């Protein structure tokens, strides 16, 4: 039940601008949503507020990330926008791109200096935990390369390795995610609140391939 609750809540927590919200945007928010990099640069030069917030706490960078407007992201970064701010649900641009499985936007954000190390979301998690939960293995590898904390424990007492098991389906995507975490040296002995390790959780769910990987890595 805890896993189902967390999965559903996480899916609902990250909220991009609705069509109605986007239609009301003005200034940098409107330019960011439309991907108008020239307008972003012009407004920034005219001292537009680069880190202004909409009603949900989203900055123009958050809006551009939700809309996958990479030209606007580059223009905002060049103008000096803060790349690591959290919106009201405590998501940053890196986590937004990670949850969306938007590897290209994530790659851009990380290259511009956005952090993969922040504590985000109402679960006190990280972008890595969110990506592991969803089985976004390519994103997981990018975040690991960017120095994301492998063994962060969120307020559900789950790590990225645990989430790849308990919130996955044991299939190829989550297997690949767990494989990446193992290769990076994630601590496989960290347990959930009931004292269950990733190996024990995989065995309980009948995830044979995950069990093989974990046992080969020396997990207990």
Mean pLDDT of the chain: 94
Q: What is the pLDDT of residue 14?
A: 84
Domain span at residue 29? 2-216
pLDDT of residue 1 exceeding 60, the answer is: no
Please tell me the distance from the alpha carbon of residue 132 to that of residue 139, in angstroms, as a whole number.
Answer: 9
Mind listing the pLDDT tens digit for each residue in 7-18? 444 445 688 999
Number of structural domains in the chain: 1
Confidence of residue 2 (pLDDT cuts 50, 70, 90): very low
If phi > 0 it is left, if psi is from -120 to 50 it is alpha, else beta; for residue 205 that is alpha
CATH of residue 108's domain is 1.25.40.20
Please tell me the distance from the alpha carbon of residue 98 to that of residue 119, in angstroms, as a whole number.
Answer: 14
Q: What is the mean pLDDT of residues 117-121?
A: 97
Q: What is the mean pLDDT of residues 23-45?
A: 97
pLDDT of residue 157 exceeding 80, the answer is: yes
pLDDT of residue 3 exceeding 50, the answer is: no
pLDDT of residue 177 exceeding 50, the answer is: yes
Q: What is the mean pLDDT of residues 79-103?
A: 97
| pTM, full prediction | 0.93
Q: How far apart are the first and last CA of the chain?
A: 24
pLDDT of residue 121 exceeding 70, the answer is: yes
């Amino acid at each position: 039940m805890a896993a189902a609750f967390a999965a559903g809540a996480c899916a609902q927590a990250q909220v991009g601008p609705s069509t109605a919200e986007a239609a009301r945007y003005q200034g940098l928010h409107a330019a960011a949503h439309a991907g108008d990099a020239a307008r972003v640069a012009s407004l920034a030069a005219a001292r537009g507020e680069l880190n202004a917030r909409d009603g949900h706490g989203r900055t123009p960078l958050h809006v551009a990330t939700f809309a996958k407007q990479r030209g606007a992201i580059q223009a905002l970064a060049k103008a000096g926008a803060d790349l690591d701010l959290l919106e009201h649900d405590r998501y940053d641009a890196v986590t937004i791109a990670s949850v969306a499985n938007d590897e290209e936007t994530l790659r851009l954000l990380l290259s511009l200096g956005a952090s993969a190390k922040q504590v985000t979301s109402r679960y006190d998690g990280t972008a890595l935990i969110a990506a592991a939960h969803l089985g976004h293995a390519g994103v997981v590898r990018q975040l690991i390369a960017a120095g994301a904390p492998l063994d962060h424990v969120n307020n559900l007492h789950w790590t990225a390795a645990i989430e790849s098991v308990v919130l996955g389906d044991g299939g190829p995507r989550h297997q690949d995610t767990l494989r990446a975490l193992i290769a990076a040296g994630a601590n496989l002995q960290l347990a959930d609140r009931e004292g269950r390790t990733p190996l024990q959780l995989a065995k309980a769910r009948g995830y044979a391939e995950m069990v093989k990987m974990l046992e080969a890595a020396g997990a207990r």
